[in-house]
A and B are shown apart, each in its own frame.
Chain A
Amino acid sequence: MSLDNNIIAHWKKSEFLLIGGSAGSFKLIFNIVKNFNSNLDKAVIIIHRKKNFFSEIEKLFAENSRISLKEIRDKEVIRKNTIYIAPANYHTLIEKNGSFGLDVSEAIWYSRPSIDVTFESAAEAFKGRCTAILLSGANQDGALGLLKLRDNGCLTIAQNPEEAEMPQMPFAAIEIKAAEYILNSEEIFGLLQK
């Protein structure tokens, strides 16, 4: 699938980018955030299920920073040109007033943070103003959330399961028709550079 004008237009007008990833997506996410321009003009929210994801990416990111990267804190107001990482041991929710809310309720799909929880609340808070990408992972977290985002008019993308290290997560989303587009990582990079 190539990048048509619709997808590029929807990406360009998005104010928020949500990225959900699990096993097999670290490198891809790092390459995505490393390549952002300092004039990105969007807020990027990353939910990765790995426990020490933030400290690992922060360490690598420090030398490459053109845009600020931080771990989400309760009630923090979402700002442009910032990359937010969901903290381990909490679910990250998005409030309608454009701030983050945290929650320590039960794990979902054996994980806290759950991608579904963030995606579902983002669908209500952001409506069509966002782009969401679901990457490699070995479970079905994020699929239902992505569907809700799509139903609310967001641009939804799943990584092509054929090239994903762990195909289950994007595959689950594609199966329930949650992904408007199925892209290879090169195409994802290409889109986010536009």
Chain B
Amino acid sequence: MSTEQEILSAQQLDELIDLIKKFHGFDFSCYSKASLKRRVIRIMQNKKQTFYDLKHTLVNNQHFFQEFLDEITVNVTEMFRDPSFYKAINNQVIPYLSTYQHIKIWSAGCSSGEEVYSLAILMNETDLRKKSFIYGTDINTEMLKEARKGIYSLKKIKSYAENYQYSGLKGSLTDHFTIMYDAATIHSELKHNTLFSVHNLVSDAIFNEFQLISCRNVFIYFESELQEKILELFYNSLAPLGFLCMGSKETIRSDRFKKKFKIISSKENIYQKIVT
């Protein structure tokens, strides 16, 4: 009964994945297929490309690959996304973190930096800024450039400001920004304690030890086996009794890691490393 000509078959998607790995060094083989396929089809439709056009351009046009990467990796993020999450961090995690001499935080898959700066503001508001340091990592170098700037459109800031109101923090979001014309720049002292660098969760290793790792709405793009592999990386990157934060609809699925983490908040998906 199916007569519809498919824009991109499963085999063709696999072919593209192989090609990208060979020519550009990025491994998408364990990404969730339904979402990945949708993203690729979107590019093909926007560019009016057939599968063969896309293959050809990916191999021969280095500049195009960055554009492709921007589209493939979902870069939709917000400051204080899920305000109740920040409330939970403030109430249940901060009191514990405040006992440390130095607090190292890793925001994995940070995209344009909104989460890093949200955490920086939270640390500032809880008087922990001076002893904390936040690492933001992503596979997309262009996104990291945006993140380092810390400049957001006023339109975006307005929508983030509403989240901030619900996060339970004092004042308003704009207290932490300098506003000029239609753009808002994060205060430089909040930027001081941050560092953005390239890290690929699929292929790169541990680079530091952290008291808190936040990786929210990144696991949804990975198949279960890859999720487990990255959980291992996170577990090994956490200090004893360190915290792991995941997106609100994500879960630790494997029994192996369920035993290695204690649930701090099931609603907000905050876990603590158990030392065995």
Contacts from A to B (Cβ < 8 Å): 71-75, 87, 90-91, 93-96, 101-106, 117, 120-121, 124-125, 127-128, 148, 151-153
A128 and B1 alpha carbons, distance in the complex (Å):
9
Q: In the complex, how many angstroms separate the beta carbon of A51 from the nearest chain B beta carbon?
A: 13
Q: Which of B27-35, B202-210, B231-239 contacts its partner? A: B27-35
Top 7 nearest A-B pairs by Cβ distance? A93-B34, A153-B1, A151-B4, A101-B32, A102-B220, A103-B35, A121-B34
Contacts of A151 in B (CB 8 A): 1-4
- Given A73-B251, A103-B221, answer yes or no on A121-B38 (Cβ-Cβ < 8 Å): yes
A121 and B36 alpha carbons, distance in the complex (Å):
11
Instruction: Tell whether, in the assembled complex, residue B76 and residue A104 are in contact, meaning their CB atoms are under 8 Å apart.
Output: yes
Instruction: Tell whether, in the assembled complex, residue A101 and residue B227 are in contact, meaning their CB atoms are under 8 Å apart.
Output: no
21 residue pairs bridging A and B, Cβ less than 8 Å apart:
A72-B249, A73-B250, A73-B251, A74-B220, A74-B247, A74-B250, A75-B223, A75-B224, A87-B249, A90-B220, A93-B38, A94-B34, A96-B34, A103-B35, A103-B38, A104-B74, A104-B76, A104-B217, A105-B39, A121-B34, A151-B3
Q: In the complex, how many angstroms separate the beta carbon of A166 from the nearest chain B beta carbon?
A: 26
- Given A90-B249, A127-B2, A153-B1, answer yes or no on A95-B33 (Cβ-Cβ < 8 Å): yes
**Closest A-chain residue to B251, C-beta based?**
A73
**Closest B-chain residue to A128, C-beta based?**
B1
A95 and B35 alpha carbons, distance in the complex (Å):
9
Give the interface size bracket for B toward A: 20 to 34
Instruction: Tell whether, in the assembled complex, residue A104 and residue B4 are in contact, meaning their CB atoms are under 8 Å apart.
Output: no
Contact among A103, A127, A148 for B74, CB-based, below 8 A:
A103
How many residue pairs at the A-B interface have CB separations less than 8 Å? 71
Q: Is B219 an interface residue (CB 8 A)?
A: yes
Q: In the complex, how many angstroms separate the beta carbon of A65 from the nearest chain B beta carbon?
A: 21
A144 and B146 alpha carbons, distance in the complex (Å):
35
A148 and B33 alpha carbons, distance in the complex (Å):
18
Contacts of B10 in A (CB 8 A): 96
Contact among B2, B74, B251 for A74, CB-based, below 8 A:
B251
- Given A121-B38, A152-B2, A153-B1, answer yes or no on A95-B32 (Cβ-Cβ < 8 Å): yes
Contacts of B251 in A (CB 8 A): 73-75
A128 and B251 alpha carbons, distance in the complex (Å):
31
**Closest B-chain residue to A153, C-beta based?**
B1
**Closest A-chain residue to B71, C-beta based?**
A105
A106 and B75 alpha carbons, distance in the complex (Å):
9
A128 and B249 alpha carbons, distance in the complex (Å):
29
Instruction: Tell whether, in the assembled complex, residue A75 and residue B1 are in contact, meaning their CB atoms are under 8 Å apart.
Output: no
Contacts of B249 in A (CB 8 A): 71-74, 87, 90, 102
Q: Is B253 an interface residue (CB 8 A)?
A: yes
- Given A102-B220, A103-B74, answer yes or no on A148-B4 (Cβ-Cβ < 8 Å): yes
- Given A103-B38, A151-B2, answer yes or no on A96-B219 (Cβ-Cβ < 8 Å): no
Instruction: Tell whether, in the assembled complex, residue B227 and residue A152 are in contact, meaning their CB atoms are under 8 Å apart.
Output: no
Greatest chain B CB density within 10 A among A75, A106, A120 is at A75
Instruction: Tell whether, in the assembled complex, residue A96 and residue B33 are in contact, meaning their CB atoms are under 8 Å apart.
Output: yes
Produce 1/0 per residue, B246-276, CB < 8 A to A: 0101110100000000000000000000000
Q: In the complex, how many angstroms separate the beta carbon of B248 from the nearest chain A beta carbon?
A: 8
Greatest chain A CB density within 10 A among B32, B35, B76, B249 is at B249
Q: In the complex, how many angstroms separate the beta carbon of B2 from the nearest chain A beta carbon?
A: 5
With A96-B33, A105-B76, A151-B1 already in contact, 6 other A-B pairs whose C-beta atoms are closer than 8 Å: A73-B249, A93-B34, A102-B249, A127-B2, A151-B3, A152-B1
